[in-house]
Structure 1
Amino acid sequence: MATQSHSLSYAGCNFLRQRLVLSTLSGRPVKIRRIRARDDNPGLRDFEASFIRLLDKITNGSRIEINQTGTTLYYQPGLLYGGSVEHDCSVLRSIGYYLESLLCLAPFMKHPLRIVLRGVTNDQVDPSVDVLKATALPLLKQFGIDGESFELKVVRRGMPPGGGGEVFFSCPVRKVLKPVQLTDPGKIKRIRGIAYSVRVSPQMANRIVDSARSILNKFIPDIYIYTDHMKGVSSGKSPGFGLSLVAETTTGAFLSAELASNPQGQGAAVLPEDLGQNCAKLLLEEIYRVRLGLCRSGSGAIRERFAVSHSYSLATFFSEGLSQGINFFLRIQQFSIN
């Protein structure tokens, strides 16, 4: 059994989730000190503690030690076990915060993962479940992760601050990934999207679609934006609406943009027309950035994690502008995963 003296040591809360994921994949224990030590509210946040509990549920034999103030974390990963799991996520972050890491861990478990996550499905901080389904799942299929048991479904939609959403995710086991080359971004061939609304008038989603199309129709004809209005228990605990857009290129790349209304009781009211137009402009900006080699779309973090952490020859992708996330993964050589 590994001892704390042989663990990798870090300081601060930056990249905490990524460090724990790489620790789990490599089997190397980590010790993270001075987590917000000088903050007025020091230590781990509720959503980080919830993520650690999730790692404990999907592994077998993990050892987790947190000091009384929450400023020091020791994590010795166990076996990635999988199986059927249920987890209540913190409403401070959306389910996408947890799902991003699960997408990287699920293929390498002992048993196929079938998990139900409850909480916020769409917010203004993390990638939504809709964007991850439209961008990350096709990317993972290129790595050879597919099959009938590979599924991501929004059962209930939940907006902040109350949440109340529910997502089902299942993934088969794949011990070896296929090499992938994404060096040519290609040209945009179609745009798809979802305009959603919960606990507000269904017309909100229709107004979002009309305003987004008024911008996008000038550039490409193949556009289809679905409307999703959930009612009753499927609509969560808080009202809200939003839009997720995904552009697919001729080479199989996916570019995304999304916007959500302000949480109930926070900030000024947002008009659905303004939200639709602004989201369409964000997608156009994303397309422009990709043409310059500055990729930052929703599946980027997952792509970077697979490309860097599993094999030096596993993936080649276009990204002339290195984000903080890419730089972090390129600099981590202590996790000897290869």
Structure 2
Amino acid sequence: MLVEIDGSIYEGGGAIFRNSLALSAATQRPVKVFRIRAKRSKPGLRPQHLMVAKALTRMTLGKATGLAIGSQEVIFYPQRVLGGSYVLDIGTAGSITLLLQAILPAAVFASSKVKLKVIGGTDVPMAPPVDYFHHVFLPALRDMGVIVHLKLLRRGHYPKGGGICEVEVDPVNVLAPILRLERGEITRVSGVAHAVRLPKHVVERIASSAEDALRRHGIEGVEIKRDYRPNRGHLGPGAGIVLWAIDDLGNVLGADALGKRGKPSEQVGREAAEKLIKEIQSGCPVDRHLGDMLIPYMAMASGRSEIRVSCLTLHTLSNIAVAEKILGVSFSVSGREGAPATIAVEGAAIRRS
């Protein structure tokens, strides 16, 4: 039976399309997504969304209609998920991590190991930076039994892109549930500050300002790696920072900030530090961005998952709506949008075919 998803619900952005196709591919349940990105200034598919659809169609030996820039309706008929090696070139500075968010739910149930070489943006606005993906999101997936290896070969920033990541995914037969309700004591804060094709003092100023801001809140011993890349084949300049805090229960909270022309380096570091401090002060074990990223996996897992998030976002609510529609699960949400919330679900126990 064809599941119909209205792409205009909640924030009405690309996440609804990506998650619909991701869960469709993982479960081999066909979907029709209409009014795609209806609330964006340029509705319909953009190059990065088109790449998601084409990649999943290829990986699942599927069929799809409506695959064109600007299309606001796509029908997707997946079959089984195939392992193997794939090169995915977004062709723009479209986010590599957003593409991976759509690919990974299917790849974890592939017939064999999946190897990806993805070309696009690694550190771009409105998307998780690659270092957040690596140090915050992937450890959470490990708790659910999923092993993903990610190697950053080259950074890519808006507008030129050109970043390169290599990813390997070891498939599983079934996902374990995740339980993150309690926050422990913060034992370590780490991070990566980077600057590409910019003066070396940029990365030092970003990292030092983050360290100073954290120190003013009583957080000592912060370890921030300086990743300075003067050229090394990168297409354009860019800078940013990702910070993460680890507690004694193994929870990881993350925060980030990007540089841009006219934005002082000190502001970039301070912004990321203040975001992380806010996450720590929430007392929750799951940050606002990790919360929405975990929803598809919680819905597919075998058993009851339950998490406490620092902020219930529209992204999280839209991901819940899509998962409920495609998988037939029922989430319980205790909390309101914009505030801390507890999210629970009895997963659909999806298994590798």
TM-score range, shorter chain: 0.7 to 0.9
Rounded to whole Å, the distance in 1 between the matches of 2:181 and 2:239 is 35
* Aligned residues of 1:84 and 1:114 also touching (Cα < 8 A): yes
* SS of match in other structure, 1:108: coil
Q: What residue in structure 2 maps to residue 8 of structure 1?
A: 3
Q: Which runs of 5+ in 2 are unaligned?
A: 328-347
Paired residue for 1:275, among 268, 277, 298?
Answer: 268
In the TM superposition, what is the alpha-carbon distance from 1:92 to its structure 2 partner?
Answer: 4.7
Shift of the alpha carbon at 1:40? Answer: 7.6
Extract unaligned runs of 5+ from structure 1.
1-5, 263-267
- Distance in 2, matches of 1:163 and 1:38, equals 25
Report what 1:159 is aligned to.
157
Calculate percent identity across the aligned residue pairs. Answer: 26
Matching of residue 225 in structure 1 with residue 224 in structure 2: yes
Cα offset, 1:145, TM superposition = 2.5
What is the SS of the residue equivalent to 1:288? helix
- Please name the residue that 1:70 is paired with: 71
Q: SS at 2:239's partner residue?
A: strand
**Does the 8 Å CA contact 1:135/1:298 hold for their aligned counterparts?**
no
Residues 2-33 of structure 1: CA distance to partner in whole angstroms, max 9, x if unpaired?
Answer: xxxx3112333531111111111221111122
Q: CA RMSD in A?
A: 2.3
Note the C-alpha offset of 1:295: 4.4
2:277 to 280, 284, 290: 284
2: CA distance between counterparts of 1:127 and 1:38? Answer: 21
Pair 166,36 (structure 1): closer, same or farther in 2 beyond 3 Å: closer
Q: 1:164-313 residue pairs with structure 2 within 5 A?
A: 164-218=162-216, 219-234=218-233, 236-262=234-260, 268-289=261-282, 291=283, 293=284, 295-311=286-302, 313=303
Shift of 1:97: 0.8
Paired AA for residue 123 in structure 1: V
Q: Distance in 2 between matches of 1:108 and 1:231?
A: 39
One-letter code aligned to 2:236: S
Of 130-139 and 92-101, the range deviating more from structure 2: 92-101
Note the alpha carbon deviations across 1:117-176, whole angstroms, 9 max, x for none. Answer: 001110121001111100122112212223xxx411110111110011100110111112
Cα distance in 2 between the residues matched to 1:143 and 1:199: 38
2:318 aligned with 1:328: yes
> How many correspondences in the alignment?
320
